Amino acid sequence: MNTSLPRVLVTGASGFIGSGLLPRLYQEGFRAVAALRRPSCIAAPECPIVVTGELHGTNDWSLALKEVQVVVHTAARVHVMDDRSPDPLAEFRMTNVEGTLNLARQACEAGVKRFVFISSVKVNGEETPLGAPYAADDSPAPADPYAVSKHEAEQGLKAIGAQGDMEVVIIRPPLVYGPGVKANFQAMMEWLCRGIPLPLGAVHNRRSLVALDNLVDLITTSIRHPAAANQVFLVSDGEDLSTTELLRRMAGALGRPARLLPVPAWALETGAAMLRRRSLSKRLCGSLQLDIDKTRRLLDWSPPVSVNDALAKTARHFLEHRSI
């Protein structure tokens, strides 16, 4: 362990991003501490563990923050499809705003030098015109309760950092994929493995994605790069794919044929509207592109892993752990 590198607290250490980050920090010699809601296994068992309970506005972080110089905050109430909560915004605010700012205030008081916040590109908005990507410093336009809560957390963090002596780094990723990915990406791989015909063979949108390895690399860079201080960064793989191309490449990585029917996007959107699934059609047919020029320029950073290599790694893990 390199004692010259900062001691880093990682919240959400057992989550998808946290469990990818911890081994990288350990590999590079950082002194990492894993913060968990409840006792569980983590990807880097050598790291000390602190159990903090559910993230809310009254957590006591004093033990977790002892001798910590950098906090990487990945813990959050994540975006929920078809949220049935009577007040979704209040639920998101409780965790993503009150919980985050409570941690940040205590971190600032404890002398933490840098707070790296994993936000979401949904703070920028939901959709971009084809060929007109979001930039990091565009005016935010959060549209749903999850995005609103992330935006409010960003604003609160900037205020806390400005009042104290703590640098704040905000990273807004799009959809993150990699080994162990769940939800829609996992379902897509299952459909392809089963050879289910999909009406997505003629979608000409463009969407930015980010492989977990690329996001982890940027987080690690942001921990120590002087130019990252008090900046907002977008991150992606640097190659935007249409839904059709993503399915074709993923099928190839899985060693399966892509059975894609060339249904026009307008027909898909009409059908989704009739079924009251407009949000689904937006994700399948709409564009969401990110301009990562600022990230490349300020941090001298480029995605180290190609889309094809990241998809191949994701596919291998899926096939190895798939229940037949």
pLDDT in tens, 189-200: 999 999 999 999
- DSSP designation for 97: I
Q: How confident is the model over 151-173, as pLDDT tens digits?
A: 999 999 999 999 989 999 999 99
Look at residue 241 and tell me whether its pLDDT is greater than 90: yes
What is the average pLDDT across 282-309?
Answer: 95
What's at 256, amino acid-wise?
Answer: R
Average pLDDT of the segment spanning 175-186 = 95
Which helix (H) or strand (E) segment holds residue 171: the answer is: strand 167-172
pLDDT mean over 32-39:
88
Catalytic positions, please? 146
Q: What is the pLDDT of residue 239?
A: 97
- Region 72-80: mean pLDDT is 87
For residues 74 and 60, give the distance between their C-alpha atoms in angstroms, rounded to a whole number: 18
In 3D, which of 43, 27, 35, 41 has the Cα closest to residue 9? 35
What was the pLDDT predicted at 85? 72
Average pLDDT, the chain: 92
Give the confidence band of 324 by pLDDT, cuts at 50, 70, 90: low
| Average pLDDT of the residues in 207-236 | 98
Predicted confidence at residue 38, as pLDDT, reads 84
Residue in 182, 192, 177, 207 with CA at minimum distance from that of residue 305: 177
Residue 182 clears pLDDT 70, i.e. is over it = yes
DSSP letters along 236-298, please? --S--B-HHHHHHHHHHHHT----B----HHHHHHHHHHTT-HHHHHHHHS-B-B--HHHHHH
Domains, the chain, in order of start with CATH, read: 7-178+210-239+288-305 (3.40.50.720)
> Can you give the pLDDT at residue 63?
92
**3-state class (DSSP) for residue 150:** helix
Which range among 33-37, 87-91, 172-176, 281-285 shows the weakest confidence by mean pLDDT? 281-285
Q: Is 1 a residue whose pLDDT tops 60?
A: no
